[in-house]
């Protein structure tokens, strides 16, 4: 006998890429892995996925309620609540063994949402992103236009997590991602232009052959330009164990 969940859920995953992705293409990078609607099927799926501490860099996993898809463009009336990034460093437990805090935090929050402990239907998903030196936990919500719902979610998450959170609407996320992609594309074009200019300049050996006088002044080195930057902004705050809500409209 199986025990039905209040909602059906789906597991998705994606792999981050350095290439600029327009909004129409992003959904193609998200793959559905499994569906479940009972406690038993959820536990089976959960037992088969890697723990956050073992998740490959640039991988993201999503648990989404019913037909909700983990893409901002698919839910413009939604928003995301992001926990302050967790560092990829182990901690010593009371038993003297080494463990990763993110594993316990992810499991506790995931079970609370799937098991409806928060009793909040406007929470439609939870995702975990593994990057170079940190993890990011994100709670997905809908119906953000209702101020009462947004405040209720903020209160419940503060009580459950006791951590700093940052809220952003999906429309703000979309706009910010577009600007970041445009900036990255502009930098890549500038780098390409500089490389072509360097290739077009006469080489030092060619100058000697023509009998040109070699300059003994200081010569500046031209690099290949700035390296590609991740579109992540770390926000520091001196306040601890309180809810931090930044509304990005």
What is the arithmetic mean of pLDDT over 5-15? 95
What is the arithmetic mean of pLDDT over 1-13? 94
Residue 11 has pLDDT above 90, yes or no: yes
Range of the domain at 77: 4-175
Domain-embedded: residue 132: yes
Domain-embedded: residue 128: yes
Q: Over the stretch 106-117, which tens digit does the pLDDT of each residue have?
A: 999 999 999 999
Domain-embedded: residue 154: yes
Q: Which of 65, 52, 73 is nearest to 137 (CA)?
A: 52
- 197/193 Cα distance (integer angstroms): 6
- The mean pLDDT of the chain is 77
CA of residue 45 relative to chain centroid, distance: 22
Q: What is the pLDDT of residue 24?
A: 56
Domain-embedded: residue 14: yes
Domain-embedded: residue 226: no
Q: Over the stretch 207-225, which tens digit does the pLDDT of each residue have?
A: 555 554 444 433 344 433 3
* Domains contained in the chain, number: 1
- 63/66 Cα distance (integer angstroms): 10
- 76/67 Cα distance (integer angstroms): 15
Specify which of 201-210, 215-224, 229-238 reaches the highest per-range mean pLDDT: 201-210
- 149/81 Cα distance (integer angstroms): 13
Domain-embedded: residue 243: no
- 72/226 Cα distance (integer angstroms): 29
Token pair 């992103």 is at which residue? Answer: 129
- 245/82 Cα distance (integer angstroms): 10
Distance set, CA 80 to CA 77, 172, 214 (Å): 11, 10, 60
Query: Please, which residues bridge with residue 169 across strands?
Result: 79
Domain-embedded: residue 199: no
CATH number of the domain encompassing residue 84 = 3.30.760.10
Domain-embedded: residue 245: no
- Whether 32 contacts 62, CB under 8 Å: no
For the record, the structure tokens of 238 come out as 């001196």
- Whether 225 contacts 187, CB under 8 Å: yes
């Amino acid at each position: 006998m199986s025990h039905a969940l209040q909602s059906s859920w789906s597991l998705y995953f994606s792999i981050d890429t350095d290439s600029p992705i327009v909004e129409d293409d992003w959904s193609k990078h998200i793959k559905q892995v499994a569906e479940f609607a009972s406690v038993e099927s959820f536990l089976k799926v959960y037992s088969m996925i890697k723990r956050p501490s073992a998740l490959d860099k640039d991988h993201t996993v999503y648990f989404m309620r019913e037909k909700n898809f983990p893409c901002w463009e698919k839910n413009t009336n939604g928003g995301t609540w992001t926990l302050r990034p967790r560092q990829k460093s182990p901690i010593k437990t009371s038993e003297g063994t080494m463990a990763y805090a993110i594993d316990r935090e992810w499991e506790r929050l995931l079970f609370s949402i799937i098991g409806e402990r928060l009793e909040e239907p406007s929470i439609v998903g939870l995702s975990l992103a593994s990057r170079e030196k940190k993890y990011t936990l994100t709670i997905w919500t809908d119906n953000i236009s209702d101020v009462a719902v947004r405040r209720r979610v903020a209160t419940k998450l503060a009580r459950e997590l006791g951590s700093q959170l940052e809220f952003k609407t999906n429309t703000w996320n979309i706009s910010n991602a577009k600007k970041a992609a445009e900036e990255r594309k502009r930098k890549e074009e500038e780098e390409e232009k500089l490389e072509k200019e360097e290739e077009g300049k006469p080489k030092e050996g060619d100058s000697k052959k023509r009998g040109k006088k070699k300059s003994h002044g200081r010569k500046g080195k031209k690099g290949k330009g700035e390296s590609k930057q991740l579109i992540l902004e770390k926000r520091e705050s001196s306040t601890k164990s309180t809810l931090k809500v930044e509304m990005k409209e």
